[in-house]
Amino acid sequence: MPFLTRCAHALRDRLEGLGAWTAPLGLRLVLAWEFYESGREKLHGQNWFAEVMAAFPFPFDRVPADLSWTLATWFELLGGIALLIGLGTRFFAAALFVLTVVAIAAVHWPQDWMGLSQLAQGYAITDQGAGNYKLPLLFLVMLWPLILRGPGRLSVDALIERALGAAPAQARNDALGWGAGLLLFGTVAAMLLPLPGLILAAAGIALLTASRLRPRTR
């Protein structure tokens, strides 16, 4: 093997080792701060959910405004702390993902848009009447790897797994995993984009069905 190739592989392997400990840490720290601050503002602020409840996607529009406010407040506060220390990371990242999608639908999504060009105008930080979903969309992108890959080894979750002697996770790329992922992601995405979300969810159901019908080999 050429010298430069060996050096590149050696660097890659060490970056992989370092990344196993620290790669998700930046995401966790930034998200922990943002969600905790949002929860703290709600805790000390006035409940304004009643003004936007009509824009909440189903089934969240059926939850009383006071209960929705309380749930959002404490999921953001506790979720921020959980992400900071890496405890129950996948659960809280998934919960905050759904909460953020609901917030986009209720507050940040363009009220009236026809076509992708108009929808793209809402990809902004300041609201100029066309939506302002840029920042929460970035939060979704940051939460996604925490849902799929977890918090990394520098976390309470990893410490608990080591203390319990749990076997390392084994990546499995099969129809069952893809089907479950597409079904869950499509269901959540349908809150913002009904047709694409339902198509993804239907594809997930088809993969789940195929995985159950496939004959098992001994």
Q: Give the pLDDT confidence of 33-47 residue by residue, as tens digits.
A: 999 999 999 999 999
Q: Give the pLDDT confidence of 182-212 residue by residue, as tens digits.
A: 999 999 999 999 999 999 999 999 999 988 8
Residue 140 and residue 88 share a domain: yes
8 Å CB contact between 178 and 186: no
Residue 183 and residue 207 share a domain: yes
Range of the domain at 194: 172-218
Number of domains in the chain: 2
Q: For residue 40, is it within any domain?
A: yes
Q: Give the pLDDT score at 13.
A: 86
- As given in the structure block, the two tokens for residue 25 are 């840490």
Residue 189 and residue 100 share a domain: no
Q: Give the pLDDT score at 171.
A: 82
Burial of 176 (0-12, 13-18, 19+ CB in 10 A): middle
DSSP string, 144-206: HHHHHH-S-SSSHHHHHHHHHTPPPP----SHHHHHHHHHHHHHHHTTTSHHHHHHHHHHHHH
Q: Give the pLDDT confidence of 104-150 residue by residue, as tens digits.
A: 999 898 877 777 888 888 888 876 766 789 999 999 999 999 999 99
Q: For residue 124, is it within any domain?
A: yes
Q: Give the pLDDT score at 119.
A: 85
Q: For residue 47, is it within any domain?
A: yes
Sorted by sequence, the CB contacts under 8 Å of residue 186 that are 6+ apart come out as 196, 197, 198, 199, 200, 201, 202, 203, 204
| Domain final position from 150, 168, 186 | 168
Closest C-alpha to 86, from 27, 36, 13, 163: 27
Percent of the chain with pLDDT over 70: 96
Q: For residue 6, is it within any domain?
A: no
pTM above 0.85, yes or no: yes
Q: For residue 91, is it within any domain?
A: yes
Residue 161 and residue 183 share a domain: no
Q: For residue 17, is it within any domain?
A: no
Residue 139 CB neighbours (<10 A): 22
Residue 177 and residue 132 share a domain: no
Residue 211 and residue 103 share a domain: no
Q: Give the pLDDT score at 147.
A: 95
With bands split at pLDDT 50, 70 and 90, how would you rate the model's confidence at 215?
A: low
With bands split at pLDDT 50, 70 and 90, how would you rate the model's confidence at 213?
A: confident
Residue 64 and residue 132 share a domain: yes
8 Å CB contact between 78 and 71: no
Cα of 199 vs its chain's centroid, Å: 19
Residue 192 and residue 112 share a domain: no
Q: For residue 10, is it within any domain?
A: no
Q: Give the pLDDT confidence of 48-102 residue by residue, as tens digits.
A: 998 888 889 988 999 999 999 999 999 999 999 999 999 999 999 999 999 999 9
Q: Give the pLDDT score at 184.
A: 94
Residue 94 and residue 180 share a domain: no
Q: Give the pLDDT score at 166.
A: 82
Q: For residue 9, is it within any domain?
A: no
Burial of 129 (0-12, 13-18, 19+ CB in 10 A): exposed
Residue 191 and residue 89 share a domain: no
Distance between CA atoms of 103 and 145, rounded to whole angstroms? 20
Distance between CA atoms of 188 and 195, rounded to whole angstroms? 12
Residue 185 and residue 160 share a domain: no
Q: Is the peptide bond before 136 cis (omega within 30 degrees of 0)?
A: no
Distance between CA atoms of 53 and 72, rounded to whole angstroms? 13
| Domain final position from 127, 145, 168 | 168
Q: Give the pLDDT score at 63.
A: 92
Residue 204 and residue 120 share a domain: no
Residue 18 CB neighbours (<10 A): 10
